Structure 1
Amino acid sequence: MAPPLRPLKVAIIGRPNVGKSTLFNRLVGRKIALVDDRPGVTRDRREGTAELGDLLITLIDTAGLEEADPGSLEGRMRAQTERAVDEADVSLFLIDARAGLTPTDRHFADMLRKTGKPVVLVANKCEGAAGDPGFYESFALGFGEPVAFSAEHGLGLADLHEALRAHLPDEQPEDEAAAPEDDGTVRIAVVGRPNAGKSTLVNRLIGEDRMLTGPEAGITRDAIAVDWEWKGRPVRLVDTAGLRRKARVQEKLEKLSVGDALRAIRAAEVVILVVDEQMPFEKQDLQIADLVTREGRALVIAVNKWDRCEEPDTRIRELREMADRLLPQVRGMPLVPVSALTGYGLPKLMQAVFKVRERWERRVPTSELNRWFAALIEHHPPPAVAGRRIKLRYVTQGASRPPTFITFGTRVDALPESYRRYLLNGLREAFDLVGVPVRLYLRKTENPYEKS
């Protein structure tokens, strides 16, 4: 049996609005990258895995190439794209066949030639006769015969397969093949309001400028996943777009970004909520935290920009009190002061992430659970309602991730909310479930003597 091939790493390159993200979505088979009619939607590099015939491909969607000052947002976007070209085995250079060659296309064709990396030229939007002139004109770029393609309609996939097959990497031994899907990877989403420092935090954690950052609010649009390791443990970090109040989210593009961030939260195990030390626990921070707990995800709060804090001891006590008062549903959740700029507090942040994940997936043996339950009920029995007693008989853990418990008894629908909170708080304290969402369901036991 032939040894498996390592995935071919392919960067999708081109000027703005030629269809790079549409091609990315077409090949990965899902609408992952944000797509809009306006140019410049994609800013960060986004990676995805695709299968094209017998080829396994790691795709990198990139920002549109533009001439710009290196310090500007566009210049920083271009630097990210150049880094993607360096990492890739081959670049797919897209042009818009309907628009024909532009001076920008020619300029960046020269840039790609200078890298010495293989290039496959793709003439996109070739559906119908309107793209024919641009297709033939693109021969002038000197990359050989272009692949006539339509990312929108999926035309030209067989030709693209043949063009990429010529650039397969060397074979690798079987024992170096990719690990199976269930490799214990910890999935972490980094969320927060715009300009809280999420992308800077991710960059500092992984030790490279992987995410586009800057003073401008709202730079990140896509939810970008990065595979990383912390002390030998595999981690998938997802940087997300800043989440503003719903009333302020008007544009279609921002709605797409918000949807992307919400999907990242639902796919995560632990969510790091980044708040600004100078403006912590604004209304939107609290709404994001509430969303995370309603989705049943473990929550860690990173108080960023701690390098600006003048009285750290006093301030951390204030923030702890605020967090427990404003987020009683996850009272005691990890709250870690950090500086994404300097790296302060990041080891403690990751320790908190792994500790809270342990609690989030904890399972309590049924015998231990019911010994605790009997003692709790004896110490403080459920109150009588309308002169009739409520009997709680036993409890079991129905699930973990998050910890979910089911209590069985009679007349449980009449149990006061205050007693339900008493049970929840007892579960948290007795089994070290502090700071994670805990769910408690009440179920009525069947009475064999009750008339049907």
Structure 2
Amino acid sequence: MSRLPLVAIVGRPNVGKSTLFNRLVGKRLALVDDRPGVTRDRREGDATLLGVDFRVIDTAGFEEDDPQTLPGRMRAQTQAAVREADVALFLIDSRAGVVPLDEEIARWLRSEDTPVVLVANKAEGRAGDAGLYEAFGFGFGDPVPLSAEHGEGIADLFEALLPHIDREDTDEEQGDEEEAADAPLKLAIVGRPNAGKSTLVNRMLGEDRMITGPEAGITRDSIAVDWQWQGRAVRLIDTAGLRKKAKVEDKLEKLSVADALHAVDFAEVVVLLLDATKGLEAQDLRIADRVLQEGRALIIALNKWDVAENASSLFQGVRGALDEGLAQVKGLPLLTVSAATGKGIDQLLQVAFETREAWSRRVSTGQLNRWFEAAVEKNPPPAPGGKRIKLRYLTQAKTRPPGFVLFGTRVDQLPESYRRYLVNGIRRELGFGAVPVRLTLRAPKNPYGR
């Protein structure tokens, strides 16, 4: 197993190192007091920021003393921690401003090979402005304004740390992905009443597990059935038919519709079954939109294909209507099946497993930003009012569904069309296909905006 990236917090006594340590690890592991020198030993803890795991080292306050004295031995421990670390967080007290000991620590850090992120702590309010200005003189780039005590500026700290702590997929992540791939595929079958959902489930299982018939709305509960397809585990969820609210008059049917929507919440992949003899209706698009809003991977299946008329034009018509009506996710898988004969079911299940794999996919920040830099260079963001929107970098914060965070300045002015350009590029060029992709925009706080 690969070790987690190491982040060492360094600085002179009483600048808030242990407070930041506690904030990052989410626990009160380090003692905090107004007196300097409370921390003597190196203390370590695990931290997670926006889905990135790393290990934090809280070090003793850096002091000038003979190596044989207690403060001198504490300083040696701090130096050892920095040399082991992937990045050092150099904390100063922005309210007190830069003092001679801060300058000595900066000189020492510049002599080391470890990358440094400069953090101006205690920056809440205007009292820390002077310290922020002074900190630029260290030559470590823009200082990150932070209040470790109040949690302000943590997103900006994450932005500064990320290039140093995010790695290519670790063994642990690969293990998680393999474990997810071996887990049962949670597959929900949804659609309007009488689209043939229960018939399709029965054909998959090879038994009359669900009651079927010409009457619409026979299935009233969402029923989960564990099953094997070609040696791979599947949990099938057959649901009540979804129809327009205006037609949902019977109380029991209202409960059935709610249960079907509940089933979507617990599924990984949702198959929206259409009746090929009736084509695509507005209600089908509403169901599809609801599935995508819930962040589930979606497949469209045209059932009763064995009795469909003008099959080619019908398929092209449904394809065009889907791309127009669900413009946020173009290219959804559109398959043809016959629940009555079983034709197309194996292909449907194969696509469902492939779609779940894309839905669970994680891309390393390195690979992601190589693509991102090329995408921005090819099509730079606009400059509304003559002011350039600067996009810094992109990171994947979560999977299932894939979620990304875009850091930059003036991102609140980024047009929706450019946002779609990035999302479509992520889907098309990074292997996410037509699964829902979330993109969150994040701008660092301007410490001088006040």
TM-score > 0.5, shorter chain as reference = yes
Matching residue of 1:307: 306
Task: For 1:279 and 1:286, locate their aligned partners in 2 and report how far apart those are by CA, in whole Å.
Answer: 14
Q: In the alignment, what sits opposite 1:220? A: 219
Amino acid of the residue matched to residue 333 of structure 1? L
**Contact 1:331–1:434 (8 Å) recurs in 2:** no
Residue 356 in 1 paired to residue 355 in 2? Answer: yes
Structure 1 stretches lacking a partner, 5+ long: 1-179
Alignment of 1:226-241 (within 5 A): 226-241=225-240
1:220 and 1:451 mapped to 2: Cα distance?
59
Whether contact under 8 Å (1:412, 1:444) holds in the other structure is yes
**Partner in structure 2 of residue 408 of structure 1:** 407
Partner of 1:386, secondary structure, is: helix
1:129-208 alignment runs, 5 A limit: 184-208=183-207
For residue 355 of structure 1, report the CA deviation from its aligned partner.
1.1
- Where does 1:390-401 land on structure 2 (aligned, <5 Å)? 390-401=389-400
RMSD: 1.7
Q: Could you say which residue in structure 2 is the equivalent of 1:46?
A: none
Q: Cα distance, 1:181 vs. partner?
A: 12
Pair 1:336-2:352 in alignment: no
* Match of residue 417 from structure 1: 416
Report 1:407-446 matches (<5 A).
Answer: 407-446=406-445
Query: Are the structure 2 counterparts of residues 351 and 181 from structure 1 closer, same or farther at C-alpha, using a change threshold of 3 Å?
Result: closer
Q: Distance in 2 between matches of 1:310 and 1:278?
A: 7
TM superposition shift of 1:189: 0.7
Q: May I ask how many residue pairs the two structures share in their alignment?
A: 272
TM-score by length of 1: 0.58
- 2:269 — aligned with what? 270
The 8 Å contact of residues 285 and 322 in structure 2, kept in 1 or not, is answered as no
Structure 2 length-normalised TM:
0.59
- Highest CA radius of gyration, 1 or 2? 2
Amino acid at match of 2:382: P
Alignment of 1:296 onto 2:295 = yes
Do residues 367 (structure 1) and 392 (structure 2) align? no
1:261 is the counterpart of 2:235: no
- Secondary structure of 1:363's match? coil
CA contact (8 A) 1:330 1:434 kept: no
What's the CA shift string for 1:343-366, capped at 9, x where partnerless?
111111111111111111111111
Taking the aligned partners of 1:206 and 1:364, their CA distance within structure 2 comes to: 35
Paired letter, 2:423: L
Q: What is aligned with 1:61?
A: none
Q: CA offsets, 1:321-362, max 9 Å, x none?
A: 222222222211111100101111111111111111111111
SS at match of 2:391: strand
Equivalent residues of 2:277, 2:309 under 8 A apart: no
Measure the CA separation in 1 of the matches of 2:353 and 2:275. 23
C-alpha contact 2:279 2:314 (8 A) present in aligned 1: no
Q: Is the 8 A contact 2:265 2:294 kept in 1?
A: yes
- Cα 1:300/1:410, change in 2 over 3 Å: same
Amino acid at match of 2:193: P
Q: Does 1:249 align with 2:248?
A: yes
Quote the offset at 1:183 in angstroms.
Answer: 6.5
% identity of equivalent residues: 60
1:337–1:405 Cα change, 3 Å: same
- Measured in 1, the distance between the counterparts of 2:237 and 2:339 equals 16
What secondary structure does 2:384 align onto? coil
> Cα distance 1:347–1:182, how it changes in 2: closer, same or farther (>3 A)?
closer
What residue ranges of structure 2 are gaps of 5+ in the alignment?
1-178
Contact conserved, 2:190 with 2:241, CA < 8 A, in 1?
A: yes
Q: 1: CA distance between counterparts of 2:245 and 2:258?
A: 12
For the 8 Å contact 2:181–2:357, the answer to whether it is kept is no
C-alpha deviation, 1:281, in angstroms:
2.1
**C-alpha deviation, 1:182, in angstroms:** 11
